[in-house]
Amino acid sequence: MSDRRPETRGTPYAPHTAADTAAMLSAVGVDSEADLFDVPESVAFEGAFGIEARSERAVRREVRSLLGRNGDLVEFLGRGHYAHYVPAVVDDLAGRSEFLTSYTQYQPEVTQGFLQALFEYQSLVAELTGLPVANASMYDAATALGEAALLADRVREASGSTVLVPAHLRASAREVLETYVAGATLSVESFPMDDGAVDVAALHEQVDEETLLVYAETPTVRGVVEERLAAVGEAAHAVDALFCVGSDLVALALLRAPGEVGADVVVGSADVLGLGTTYGAGLGIFATREAFLRQLPGRLVGASTDAEGRRAYTLTLQTREQHIRKERATSNICTNQAWFALQTAMHATLLGPSGLVDLAEGCVRDARDLAARLDDLEGVEAPVHDRHHLREFVVRTDRPAPEVAGGLRDRGFAVHVIQSAADREELLQVCVTDVNAHATDDLVAAFAEVAP
Amino acid sequence: MSDEQTGRETTERAYDQARYAQNGENEPLSIETGRREIDPGEGSALPDDLTRDSLALPSLSEPELARHYTRLSQMNWGVESGPYPLGSCTMKYNPSFTEDLAAATTAAAHFDRDNADLQGTLALLYELQDWLGRVGGMDAVTLQPPAGAAGEFTGIQIARAYHRSRSDPRSEVIVPTSAHGTNFASATMAGYDVVELPAGDDGRVDLEALEAAAGAETAALMLTNPNTLGLFEREIESIAEIVHDAGGLLYYDGANLNALLGRARPGDMGFDVMHYNVHKTFATPHGGGGPGAAPVGVREELREFLPRPHVRRVEGTAGEDDGAPAGDDGSGSPRFERYDPPNSIGKVHGYGGNWPVLVKTYAYLARLGDEGLRDASAKAVLNANYLAELIDLEVPYRPFHHEFAATAADRDAAEVARRMLDSGVHPPTTKWPEQVPEAMLTEPTEGESKSSLEDLAAAFDAAVDADADELASAPRRMAVRRIDQASAARNPRLSWHALEGSAADDPESHR
C-alpha cells in the first residue's frame, strides 16, 4: 500500500500514484501536467490563493469551533422557515451514496430509484395540494412564487401585468418575486388585510383587468389560517386573473386542499418535512392544473413502460426545459432541490396521513395554548389577530418589542420583532412546533419576567 | 475496479443492477403497499369548513421505509458506484466528512436571528466569500444563488442594474451557440433578447462574428472557459476588449472551472461577473439534481448591486478574528454582520441560499488548500487526456482540458451510451454540444484512477463495437430496459393518481 501514498501534497481525492501519473503523462505524450494547459501566458495565474490545506480532523475542529460561535438559543422562530423533528432514519437513508452522489436522471435506465422517489414526491404534493400536476421541486417558496407569476404571464387565460400579494407577506418573498418579474415587466402591488386575514371586500375593489395573479397564503406569514380562501379565488377569477395559494405540506395535511377552493397554482414550503432548520435552505412546492402542464417550470417525472412492458419512470415533457428549448424555455431552472425532495417524501411516508395530521393539529393546538398563556401575562396580548393559527402568532407588548425580545434573548430564547415604532404597536411573533414545545413553560416564565 | 492487476487489462466488465421483481414489476410504489385514507377534519381544533374531508397517502413503518428506500437506492447510480463521466457536470468524488459538518446542530440556526446570535454562521460565510473571490480573481462574492441557473440570473440582473445606473439600458445578451441552455433562458428571464454567436471552425469564439454582434445594445457576453468542447478561449483578452469597447460586461459561466483551478482566474482574463458551481468544482454532492449553490463574484464596481443581504466584517474589528472562538465570554461585540448593498438588485432566494451546501464548500476548500485545488485541476485534465488516448473514438476538437467531445460517428450516441451501462459505467453526456456529430461529451474528473479510466475506455470500445441489434436492445442488465419516451410525453402520467388500476384509489389495498 505504501506506493499508493501521494508523494506530493495534492488533492486527497485523486487516486493517482506518482508512477500512475508518470505513465499517463507518457501515454499522452507530454512531460508534465503543466504542458496539458493551453492557457496563454498573459492570463496564466502564477500567484497563490493563500488557502492553507488542513487535515480532515483539523477542518472538522475548525468548522465546529466556528459554528460554536452561534448563540445557544432555543428558537421560537418561523415566518416561513419552520422546524419539525426529522427522524434519524430519513437522514440515514437519504445519505446513501447512490442517492446523494447521483446526477439529475437524464439516463433513466440507471436511475430508476431516484426517479421513482421523485414520482412519489410529485404524487404526495398532488394529493396534498388537490392539484393534479406537481413538479419535482423548486428552490424554495419565494422563488416558486416568482415562477407562478411568470407562468401566469405565459398562459392565455390571464392577460394583465399586475401581481397582487397580501400586505402581510414576508418582505424577502416579495423581494424575490419582484426580482423574478422584473424581466417580464410585471408589477407587484399589495392588498390590505383585515385582522390578519385577506380583506376580501377591499380585494374585490382592487382587482381589475390589469390583474394577472392574486396570491394569498394559508397559514399567512403571521400564522393565520385564511378562512375565506374560496372568496379570494372568486375575486381573482372575476377578472380572469389566476389564483395562487401559498402553504406548506404539514398545513395542507389538515387544511382544505387549495385545489378544491379554486387555486390555479399552489406554491409554498415542502421543506417543513425532512429538513429542519437550515438558515433558510428550502424546497419549493409547485403544483398546478392540467391545463397549464406544458407551461410548468422545472422537472417532471412521468411513468412509462420499458421494452419488456414493465413500469418505468423517466423525466418527461423536457421540451419545456432550458437544455432543449433554450431562450424559449418555461424557466431557466436546472439543478434544484431533488435530494431535499427525497427527504421530504421519506418523512411524509414515515408519518403517513395520520402522523401528518397529528403534526398539523399539534401546531394548531400548541399555538392556541401558548398564545392563551402569554395573554394571561401582564403587558402581553396574544394572539393579536382573532383568528385560528397554525404554529405561530403575533404578540402585542406594552414595552418596546426590541426590549422584550432582548430580555428573552438574555434568558436563552429567540423570537421575531416584527414591528416597533413610536407611533405604532409593539409586535413580536412566536412560533411553536414539536421541536421547541418542550420549552414553552420556560418561555412563558421568561415573558413574565421581561414583559411587564 | 480497484484491483490493480485486472485493472490494467482491457477486458470488458459487466454490471447487473439489483432489483426486486414482483410479477415482473420492480419495487412497488409506497402507495401500493402502504395506502391509508383518513378524515383529517375529524376531531380537529379547526372548524369543519376549514379542514379537508379525506387524505390518502402511503404510511410505512420505519423498517418498511428503510427497505423501500434501500431498494430504490440500489436502482440508482452514484459517484461511489463507479465512473460517472458526464461532460459539463463534474461528477467528482464527494468527501464524506463534509456531510456531518453541514448537519451539525450548531449549523442549524434560523436566518431571522440577530447578527449577534449568528456569529458562527456569518464568520463561515464571510470567509467563504473571501476564498471564492481569491479563487476566481473577483473582488466581492454573494452566496445567495441556490443553483447555477440562479447564479446566471443573478449575474445578469447585476449587469442590468449596472447599465441602468449609468442611464444606458441595453437590450441584448450575446451567448455562444455551444453554451449551456441555462445561459439563454437566464438572459431571457432577466428581460434580454438573446443574440446567438456561432463558433468559428476551431470551436472557439469567432472574433469577427463577435465584432459584428457586439454593439450599443450589448449588455453582456456570457462565456464558458474552457468552453463546452473543453477548449480554452485563447483570444480571451481580445474578446474582453471587444465586449468592453462596446460598453458590455463579460460574464463567466463557472461550469468548467474545475479545469483551471490555480492555473487561470476569470478575473484576470477580463471577466466582470461570474458564478461558481460549487456542486461541480468544489465537490458538494449533486444529490440527484440538487441542492447545489452558485455564488456570484463581481468586480469592485459591481459590488453595490449584489443581492441583499451581503456579509461583511464590522468596521473596527479587522484582525481580531483569528485565534480564540468568539462568544465564549459573551463580552465580544459582533465581528460580522449582514448589510444591504446600496443599489442591490434585491433578493434571488427567500433566505440565504443553500446553506448546508455552503458549509460543505467551505470544508472542501479548507481541506484542499492551494496545492490541492491546483492538483485537482491537473489530475482532471490529465485524466481526460489519458482517457481520450485510450478510446477508439475520434475527438475532433483539441487541445481540450478537463473534458472532451468524442464523436460516435455513424453510431447513435444515445444507443452507445445505453450499451455502456451494461459495462458498469455511467455514459458521458450525449448529442451535445451540437457542433460535434453524435457527441459524447466526456469528463472523467480527477477522482478516477488510471485503472478505472482503462475500464471506462473498455466500456466505450465495447459499446462502439457492438452490433446494431445489441445497441438497439441495450441496456440489458439494468432494472429496466429501454424506456418508451414518446408515450411518456404523449400520455403524461405524473402521479400515482394517474396510473390505471393503481392502488392509489383502490380501497382493497388498505392494510
State the average pLDDT over residues B203-209. 97
Which residue in chain A is spatially nearest to B240 when comparing CA positions?
A43
CB burial of residue B507 (10 Å; 0-12, 13-18, 19+): exposed
Cβ of residue A316 closer than 8 Å to a chain B Cβ: yes
CB-CB contact of B238 with B268 (8 Å): no
Q: What is the pLDDT of residue B88?
A: 95
> pLDDT tens digits for A197-236?
999 999 999 999 999 999 999 999 999 999 999 999 999 9
Q: Assess whether pLDDT exceeds 90 at residue B331.
A: no
CB-CB contact of B110 with A277 (8 Å): yes
In the predicted model, residues of chain A with pLDDT beneath 50 are 1-7
Taking only residues 210 to 229 of chain B, the set having a beta carbon closer than 8 angstroms to any beta carbon of chain A reads none
Which residue in chain A is spatially nearest to B352 when comparing CA positions?
A280
Q: What is the pLDDT of residue A416?
A: 98
Q: What is the pLDDT of residue B503?
A: 55
Which chain A residues touch B50 with a CB distance below 8 Å? 225, 227, 255-256, 388
Asked if B29 lies within 8 A of A116 by C-beta distance, the reply is yes
Determine the Cα–Cα distance for residues A403 and A383; give it in Å rounded to an integer. Answer: 19
Determine the Cα–Cα distance for residues A37 and A21; give it in Å rounded to an integer. Answer: 16
State the average pLDDT over residues B211-221. 98
> pLDDT tens digits for A325-361?
999 999 999 999 999 999 999 999 999 999 999 999 9
Cβ of residue A273 closer than 8 Å to a chain B Cβ: no
CB under 8 Å to A91, separation ≥6 — which residues? A343, B103
Asked if B352 lies within 8 A of A317 by C-beta distance, the reply is no
Determine the Cα–Cα distance for residues B25 and A336; give it in Å rounded to an integer. Answer: 30
Q: What is the pLDDT of residue B10?
A: 55
Determine the Cα–Cα distance for residues A266 and A243; give it in Å rounded to an integer. Answer: 9
Q: Which residue from A43, A87, A132 is facing B268, i.e. has the nearest CB?
A: A43
Q: Which residue from B72, B354, B493 is facing A281, i.e. has the nearest CB?
A: B354
Cβ of residue A65 closer than 8 Å to a chain B Cβ: yes
CB under 8 Å to A58, separation ≥6 — which residues? none
Asked if B288 lies within 8 A of A349 by C-beta distance, the reply is no
Q: Assess whether pLDDT exceeds 60 at residue B7.
A: no
Which residue in chain B is spatially nearest to A339 when comparing CA positions?
B287
Helix (H, G, I), strand (E, B) or coil at A311: strand
Q: Which residue from B69, B106, B286 is facing A70, i.e. has the nearest CB?
A: B106
Interface test with B, best of A63, A89, A339 (most B CBs within 10 A): A63
Amino acid in the structure at residue B444? P
Find the helix packing angle between A56-67 and B119-136, rounded to 10°: 130
C-alpha cell recorded at residue B340: 444591504
Helix (H, G, I), strand (E, B) or coil at A134: strand
Determine the Cα–Cα distance for residues A241 and A303; give it in Å rounded to an integer. Answer: 32
Q: What is the pLDDT of residue B1?
A: 36
Q: Which H or E run contains B463?
A: helix B450-465
Which chain B residues touch A70 with a CB distance below 8 Å? 106, 109, 113, 117-121, 327
How many beta carbons lie within 10 A of that of residue B346, not counting itself? 20
In A321-405, the DSSP E strands lie at 380-381, 392-397
> pLDDT tens digits for B129-152?
999 999 999 999 999 999 999 999
Q: What is the pLDDT of residue B319?
A: 53
Question: How many A-B residue pairs are in contact by the CB < 8 A criterion?
Answer: 678
User: Which stretches of B92-222 are DSSP H helices?
Assistant: 97-102, 119-136, 148-165, 181-189, 207-213
Mean pLDDT of chain B: 93
Which residue in chain B is spatially nearest to A280 when comparing CA positions?
B351
CB under 8 Å to B353, separation ≥6 — which residues? A280, A281, B143, B144, B145, B146, B293
Asked if B146 lies within 8 A of A170 by C-beta distance, the reply is no
Which chain B residues touch A176 with a CB distance below 8 Å? 346-350
> pLDDT tens digits for B36-55?
999 999 999 999 999 999 99
Asked if B348 lies within 8 A of A120 by C-beta distance, the reply is no
Determine the Cα–Cα distance for residues A194 and A90; give it in Å rounded to an integer. Answer: 41
Asked if A310 lies within 8 A of B25 by C-beta distance, the reply is yes
Which chain A residues touch B89 with a CB distance below 8 Å? 103
Cβ of residue A291 closer than 8 Å to a chain B Cβ: no
Interface test with A, best of B2, B20, B25, B30 (most A CBs within 10 A): B30
Asked if A353 lies within 8 A of B351 by C-beta distance, the reply is no
Which residue in chain A is spatially nearest to B259 when comparing CA positions?
A37
In b/e form, how buried is each residue of A93-114, taking b as 16+ CB within 10 angstroms? bbbbbbbbbbbbbbbbbbbbbb
Shortest Cα–Cα distance, B86 to chain A (Å): 9
Asked if A172 lies within 8 A of B370 by C-beta distance, the reply is no
State the average pLDDT over residues B192-220. 97
Taking only residues 454 to 473 of chain B, the set having a beta carbon closer than 8 angstroms to any beta carbon of chain A reads 473
Taking only residues 153 to 192 of chain A, the set having a beta carbon closer than 8 angstroms to any beta carbon of chain B reads 170, 172-173, 175-176, 178-180, 182-185
Determine the Cα–Cα distance for residues A389 and A273; give it in Å rounded to an integer. Answer: 19
Which chain B residues touch A411 with a CB distance below 8 Å? none
Asked if B119 lies within 8 A of A16 by C-beta distance, the reply is no
pLDDT band at B107 (very low <50, low <70, confident <90, very high): very high
pLDDT band at B274 (very low <50, low <70, confident <90, very high): very high
Q: What is the pLDDT of residue B13?
A: 84
Cβ of residue A412 closer than 8 Å to a chain B Cβ: no
Asked if A326 lies within 8 A of B184 by C-beta distance, the reply is yes
Determine the Cα–Cα distance for residues A307 and A151; give it in Å rounded to an integer. Answer: 35
> pLDDT tens digits for B150-180?
999 999 999 999 999 999 999 999 999 999 9
Determine the Cα–Cα distance for residues B41 and B48; give it in Å rounded to an integer. Answer: 6
Q: Assess whether pLDDT exceeds 80 at residue B15.
A: yes
Which chain A residues touch B475 with a CB distance below 8 Å? 109-110
Which chain B residues touch A110 with a CB distance below 8 Å? 17, 76-77, 421, 426, 475, 478
Cβ of residue B115 closer than 8 Å to a chain A Cβ: no
Cβ of residue A73 closer than 8 Å to a chain B Cβ: yes
pLDDT band at B315 (very low <50, low <70, confident <90, very high): confident
Provide, rounded to the nearest whole percent, the portion of chain B with pLDDT above 70.
92
Q: What is the pLDDT of residue B259?
A: 98
Asked if A24 lies within 8 A of B450 by C-beta distance, the reply is yes
Q: Assess whether pLDDT exceeds 70 at residue B504.
A: no
Asked if B24 lies within 8 A of A317 by C-beta distance, the reply is no
CB-CB contact of B220 with B174 (8 Å): yes
